[in-house]
Amino acid sequence: MNGGTRSGSHAQCGQTFPIWAFGTLTVLTMLALAMSYGQMVAWQMRAMNAADAAARGMLSVQTTQWNETEAALHAAAVEEYRLRVTINDLL
């Protein structure tokens, strides 16, 4: 050795740990981002399911009201027809 300078493989000594630490930190950061994205997608699906359930509930109420209205209109039309036929027969 020449007075304190390193040569060959000894000059590279000590670089493994910083590279390993940086790589590990990068992998952990990417893992945290992937987990965060997964949680976001899960919450978005839950919100969409809740909105769909609310829409189905409202549609059920509207359908029931529509069916009741249609039944009442049909009954009124049948009753009007029956009265017309009865009045025509009397005249």
Q: Residue 69: is its pLDDT beyond 90?
A: yes
Q: What percent of the chain is modeled with pLDDT above 90?
A: 74
Q: How far apart are CA 80 and CA 54, in angstroms?
A: 39
Tell me the pTM: 0.51
Two tokens at 29? 């950061």
Kindly state the average pLDDT of the residues 30-45.
96
Q: Looking at the chain, list the stretches that DSSP marks H as alpha helix, in order from N- to C-terminal side.
A: 16-90
Q: Residue 42: is its pLDDT beyond 90?
A: yes
Domain range annotation of the chain: 16-90
Q: Residue 26: is its pLDDT beyond 70?
A: yes
Question: Does 26 or 12 have the greater pLDDT score?
Answer: 26
CA angle (40, 41, 45) in 5-degree steps: 120
